[in-house]
Structure 1
Amino acid sequence: MTDIIRVLLIEDDEDDYFLTADYLSQCEDPKFQITWVTNSAHAVKAFNKKSFDICLLDYILGAENAVDVLEILKSNGISVPVVILTGQSDIQIDEMVMRAGAADYLTKSEIETPRFMRTMRYAMVRREIENERIERHKVEQQNKAKDKFLAHLGHELRTPLTSILGYTELLLDDVANDRLNQELSIIHTNGKHLLSLLNDLLDMSRIMANKLELSQKVINLSSFMTDVHSLMNLAAKDKGLKMSVVSESLIPEMIRTDPTRLRQVLINLISNAVKFTDTGHVGVSVEVTPPKYPGDIERLLFKVKDTGIGMPPDKLEDIFHPFEQIEDVMRANHGGAGLGLAISRELVSKMGGNISVESVFGKGSVFSFTIDPGDISQQHREQLNLAVPSSRTAQTLMLHVSGRVLIVDDLREIRRLTGHMVSQCHATVAYAENGVKALEAVLMAEQEGHPFHLVLMDIHMPVMSGIDALKALRKHNCNVAVVAITAASRKGLKQSLLDEGFDDVLGKPIEKTALIQVLDKYLISTPVEADNLLEVEGTSQQEFDKVDNPNTGKKVLVVEDDHDAAELVQLLLTHQGHDVIIAHSGKEALDTLSDNYFDSVLLDLTLPDYSGLDLAAEIKSLQTDVDIIIVSGREPDPKDLQKLGIQQSVLKPVSKDDLQVLFR
């Protein structure tokens, strides 16, 4: 079909109009449909009545010229490409109209030449390119608006879910409600299901915006699979299904991956297998696959097999698309948002692998996926053992060392937690809250003849950073081993810290195995003796008691504008032995902090009178040692938290288990 190009000709000379119209009418491909007006006012009316693909504009229109008309069109929001026509060529006029926004410039004598048609085509092509750019910009803005909406939606939904799940947990824990356990369990189960759907939606949003990042760690594979088995075996038993987790080959003891996301993929596949299987079994296997071509790597292959309802062959590819579900599944009333497998596919891809499915309708399915486990060429290989943890790990946890360790961190809760782990290995512990106090403590200890053997130094602290403190120590010819502690994970950070002079680097949160390796490296191993914590300068016995006793009550300020959510958190924390005060606004929180000392502040990000992050900065100025924990319906930017020295955040809804972990 021949294209029809709609042309608006703005020309006050009738003879020139007929000349142009006659030439364009003779064109076969494309065909032109011409509308003729004689001035800018009529042109604006024509543009308002119908749409045009291109405008041909005479340079002189009585009292007007092309520059005037271009300005009038622009002021009326008209963006159709305009080609200027003039009686004779003039370089100055050419430059003037092009600067004014014309698409091109032609003499009227060129109307019947090939150049005229090329100019028309090029002008429209440029317009199409500009339209595509505008459309892309619109889509980008729409995506940004969608992401903002989803973040707001997540926050708004998590707040009421906090109350629903939290109060249901409290009712379930009360023996007086035993007769209502079934009904309460239904409420709790459906609340958790709603939360999982919300998490899936937000995960998919992050994936589509390319904002989902992995956090890779070295993990023990057998222990990891044991955890997955423990989590899912009960669900299988509830449906009368047998569940097995096996290895089809010798597997590496340790792998490097994102354990949270790998667990998410496995649990999603196993949950689906249990959901769509009424009789039989669900089997999970893991094995090492050899390289497929030169330069390839060994990969881990996971399979989840079930004896469930299966899927038709023509539906197998659709299930990995977002929001897709199979009609037979919908009729079976299994529900879901159709996001789990789409998310799993993206996560597997980010972990360096692929996911696929084989299924026989009515007989069952096998989902298979691979991941990059890191360099496992030197790893000890073993059969999967779900019962016994790695003997090597068990031995390292029994480390018994002697020596004096200084823990430097501006967050008291982090100091206590790290001190607790160090003291379990029987080393003597002291604390400093910033680089200046660390420098004073180390130099004083050397003067008194009781030097520290190891310093665990956070690198981001107020007053004096860890890097500046290390440089000051070396200027004083102090050669104590200093290990950097950092929550950052950018590429090359570890090497840059080693280049600064640190002896080693530990990441936050500190993994006990990694900490034990550092203690074993820099302190002296001693025979196991009776547990005995030594009191050191600057650290009271009361401080050690708090470290050793995770049940010591703390004074907590809950800053939350939702009254129901605030009262629930207060109730949960009070049941755990803590003293809790509520503030419903930023001003109320600051007034309370000025009159009371708190160990921790649970801080909502969205308050009626304050941004949570701005309030956090003011809280820190009032009580530098207070441990701020962000509690919100949306995930805060890690960079914003790092600037404020905030180490912990938790998404709503907050459960009693979350609070036990936060205040252990």
Structure 2
Amino acid sequence: MSDLIRVLLIEDDEDDYFLTADYLSQCKEPRFDITWVTNSAEAVAAFRCKLFDICLLDYILGAENALDVLSVIKSKGINIPVVILTGQSDTKVDEMVMRAGAADYLTKSEIESPRFMRTMRYAMVRREIENERIERHKVEQQNKAKDKFLAHLGHELRTPLTSILGYTELLIDDSQNQRINQELSIIHTNGKHLLSLLNDLLDMSRIMANKLELAPKDVDLAGFMTDVHSLMNLAAKDKGLQLSIDCPAPVPEVIRADPTRLRQVLINLISNAVKFTDNGKVEVIIDMFHQMGTQGKEMLRFRVIDSGIGMPPDKLEDIFHPFEQIEDVMRANHGGAGLGLAICRELVSKMGGEISVDSAFGKGSTFSFTMDPGNISEQPREALNLASPSTRTATGMNLHVSGRVLIVDDLRELRRLTGHLVSQCHAQVAYAENGVKALEAVLIAEQEGHPFHLVLMDIHMPVMNGIDALKALRKHNCQTAVVAITAASRKGLRQSLLDEGFDGVLGKPIEKNALMEVLDKYLIRTSGVDIEHPDNASAASSEKSTEAPLLNNGLSQGQRILVIEDDIDAAELMQLLLIHQGHQVDIAQSGEEAMKKLHHNDFDHALLDLTLPDYQGFDLAPKLRNIAPGLNIVVVSGREPDAHQLEEHHIYHALLKPVSKQDLTRLFEE
């Protein structure tokens, strides 16, 4: 409690006032400052002029009583502990005033007793606790308001970015704009940079609000690092750098981690290493490490080593703070909001580890971080033997086949790489990002009379892995050939996958010759013309056509699509991109307009914005399905849609704004 307690005494008897004031004035600690009034009107006036810590209220005040005064105080929104004083004890009065909101009830004869001072102290403590509760509630409400604002801001920024990036892509693809191609590329690059800054800000906001949660699962370390290498190797090669991943000692075959967030940390560190290195190499070294303070627990350690510009020693701590950047880096015009490393530090902390940096200006940097790999006592240890990715696009494939291939992988970039190899052999390609969507695609294709001839199935995927997907296909009496794709290299894995029922096994990174053998075995070799679609032979080999649909499962016919979006620029852009892909597209700018168009026209798919002037998207979805039961709904949103709501409304596809040409290519065929 404060050294000085400000007391408002509401008492109409002068003798009782002097008695109370005299007793309180004799107290050395705490000291009391007393203001005396005789009725509720004077009390309200006093509250307007001065702040008080506690109120002592006589029960009988002439024409008023304590219940009347309490009612007046509460009606004015005055939050202060009130102790009732009365001439004699009465249990019924005690209950009434406590129900009315009094902090306590005393007889005037107790004013000079120890109980009086205890009552004062307890009332003050209860008030402080209540004030803390109110402050916490205010902070929680402010955080909710901030989160709502950031979500709204993200939505509002993503919508114009859709138009900026989308129309720029269209202009770049137009051969008539070759003379301004460099300027258009600058616009596109900076638009993507703005999007990455927005994503970093939203990630940092979730971290600061303690709302970023990890989703740990079993991760095959060799396969995971092969994917990371494949994703980052092209960026390194573009700068003439060598990217290598080494593991000097055996490591666990499987670890427990959130693959999305672990990948985010590694890609951020490797991207920075590539960005700030002009010549030389970037190395990633993986080993086991007994970290201090973990009671001898083994931790997994990653080190990203570059031969780049380095940093001064006195600046090394600053780089892990949000919005901090090294001045020399800023002068080098490498950009960024200074959030990437701060996000990495928070993510590594959530993984149970620590991140650090060792650097010398002009001599390169080494970023190290550790993570808890989970219970690895039963895990076999093996050297991480990663093959270097082959040059996949330098030369064409010699094989010419006809058939339909479904590529299943949760990493979009790797789906595209594999798809490009397959399309070079002139086969038709479609994609799925997990086992559930693969199962859906294969079964629908069979029902519609356009079955797949081959499925290339990644083993480690979210939602449903490759083995479970294969079992589900066989339960549905689907005999399509399914070949497993895996980066794991443990002894006996190939045979165990064949025993599970796979028709073959391909290792990651996929070698061209091995892939051609599989395609030649399960597809029909042709003499240079696509038997099923001779007019599309050249298109099938084009890289632009490799991202076949997830929704229509590779059908070549144009789809009928309704774009439900209130932002006319974003709607017209999606319409234009889809029309260029050969689809019939209409636009509705509200829920009512969408329902009217569904009543009068047949649509295969609807791209549904979640924020419309007359409906929330999830409220509109069931109404659309009532009108058109077979309608495939794809959510389009400026923020991550709630997974539970997607599942509740049986919506299996969602696009995050800005929606690009590549995003739409994943859904629909060109």
What TM bracket, shorter-length normalisation? 0.7 to 0.9
> Is the contact made by 2:445 and 2:553 (CA closer than 8 Å) also made in structure 1?
no
Q: Which residue of 2 aligns with 1:133?
A: 133
Which of 445, 454, 459 is matched with 1:424 structurally?
454
Structure 1 match to 2:576 = 571
Hey, what's the Cα distance between the residues in 2 that align with 1:324 and 1:659?
Answer: 37
Corresponding residue for residue 401 of structure 1? none
How does the TM-score come out when normalised to structure 1? Answer: 0.75
Provide the residue aligned with 2:626 in structure 1.
621
Distance 1:455 1:599, change over 3 A: farther
CA shift, 1:94, in A, is 1.9
Name the counterpart of 2:383.
Answer: 382
The answer to whether structure 1 residue 456 and structure 2 residue 491 are counterparts is no
Does the aligned pair in 2 maintain the 1:602–1:628 contact within 8 Å?
yes
State the match for 1:39 in structure 2: 39
In the TM superposition, residue 238 of structure 1 has moved relative to its aligned partner by 5.6
Q: How far 1:345 moved relative to its partner?
A: 2.4
Map of 2:562 onto structure 1: 557
Separation (CA, whole Å) in 1 of partners of 2:665 and 2:484: 19
Q: Which residue of 2 aligns with 1:9?
A: 9
Residue aligning to 2:490:
none
Offset of residue 580 of structure 1:
2.2
Contact 2:353 2:370 (8 Å CA) reproduced: yes
The residue number in structure 2 matching 1:82 is 82
CA distance in 2, matches of 1:323, 1:291: 29
User: Would you say the 8 A contact 1:558–1:570 is kept in 2?
Assistant: yes
Aligned to 1:121: 121
Counterpart Cα distance in 2 of 1:518 and 1:628 = 39
Q: 2:653 aligns with which of 634, 644, 648?
A: 648
| Secondary structure of 2:472 counterpart | strand
Correspondence for 2:48: 48
CA distance in 2, matches of 1:321, 1:603: 39
Deviation sequence 1:204-251 (CA, Å, 0-9, x none): 233344443444555554443344334444545566655443223334
Are 2:351 and 2:372, in contact at CA under 8 Å, matched by a contact in 1? yes
Greater displacement, 571-580 / 155-164? 571-580
In structure 2, the CA distance between the partners of 1:205 and 1:426, relative to structure 1 (3 Å rule), is closer
Structure-2 change in CA distance of 1:199 and 1:14 (3 Å):
same
AA matched with 1:250: P
1:411–1:627 contact (8 Å) kept in structure 2 = no
Deviations 1:230-279 (A, max 9, x none): 44445455666554432233345554533322221112222333444566
CA distance in 2, matches of 1:57, 1:364: 74
How many residues align? The count is: 567
- Tell me whether 1:283 sits opposite 2:283 in the alignment: yes
CA contact (8 A) 1:411 1:626 kept: no
For residues 301 and 614 of structure 2, the distance between their equivalents in structure 1, rounded to whole angstroms, comes to: 52
Contact 2:150 2:202 in 1 (8 A): yes
Structure 2 counterpart of 1:589: 594
Query: What's the offset of the Cα at 1:481?
Result: 4.7
Instruction: Give SS of 2:651's match.
Output: coil
Structure 2 unaligned segments of length 5 or more: list them.
Answer: 391-407, 410-417, 419-434, 458-469, 478-482, 488-493, 505-516, 525-531, 534-548
Deviations 1:299-333 (A, max 9, x none): 43111233455556565445434444456655665
> What CA distance in whole angstroms lies between the structure 2 residues aligned with 1:158 and 1:524?
42
- 1:79-119: CA deviation from partner (whole Å, max 9, x where unpaired): 11111112222222222211111111222222222222222
Task: Determine whether 1:207 maps to 2:207.
Answer: yes
CA separation of 1:375/1:109 partners in 2, compared to 1, >3 Å: closer, same or farther? closer
Note closer, same or farther for the CA distance 1:271–1:262 as it changes in structure 2 (3 Å cut).
same
Whether the aligned pair in 2 keeps the contact of 1:2 and 1:29 (CA below 8 Å) is no
Q: Which runs of 5+ in 1 are unaligned?
A: 398-406, 428-453, 458-479, 484-509, 534-540
Q: Report how far residue 335 of structure 1 moved.
A: 4.2
SS at match of 1:248: coil
Q: Distance in 2 between matches of 1:518 and 1:592?
A: 53
For residue 630 of structure 1, report the CA deviation from its aligned partner. 0.6
Matches within 5 A, 1:122-161: 122-161=122-161
Q: Which residue of 2 aligns with 1:348?
A: 348
Aligned to 2:561, what secondary structure does the other structure show? Answer: strand
**Cα shift at 1:120:** 1.3
- Conservation of the 8 A alpha-carbon contact between 2:456 and 2:485: no
- Superposed displacement of residue 283, structure 1: 2.8
What's 1:171 paired with? 171
C-alpha distance in structure 1 between counterparts of 2:263 and 2:664, whole Å: 22
1:443-482 to structure 2, matched below 5 A, reads: 456=472, 481=475
Q: Return the letter of the residue paired with 1:137.
A: H
User: Is the Cα contact below 8 Å between 2:634 and 2:653 reproduced in 1?
Assistant: yes
Q: 2: distance between equivalents of 1:662 and 1:203?
A: 27
Q: Following TM superposition, by how much is the alpha carbon of 1:408 offset from its aligned partner in structure 2, in angstroms?
A: 10
- Percent of residue pairs bearing the same amino acid type: 66
Structure 1 residues 327 and 42, CA, compared in 2 at 3 Å: closer, same or farther? farther
Amino acid across the alignment from 2:18: F
**Alpha-carbon offset, residue 572 of structure 1:** 1.8
Change (3 A) 1:32 1:335: farther
- Following the alignment from structure 1 to structure 2, what is the Cα–Cα distance between the partners of residues 282 and 532? 40
1:423-472 Cα offsets, whole Å, 9 max, x none, are 41699xxxxxxxxxxxxxxxxxxxxxxxxxx9839xxxxxxxxxxxxxxx
Please give the TM-score of this superposition, normalised by the length of structure 2: 0.74
CA distance in 2, matches of 1:523, 1:301: 36
Q: Report the equivalent of 2:72.
A: 72
Q: Give 1:74 shift.
A: 0.5
CA separation in 1, counterparts of 2:131 and 2:382? Answer: 59
The farther-off stretch of 30-39 and 276-285 is 276-285
578-587 or 243-252: bigger deviation: 243-252
> Structure 1 residues 522-531 or 4-13, which shifts more?
522-531
Q: Secondary structure at the match of 1:456?
A: helix
Conserved 8 A contact 2:442-2:452: no
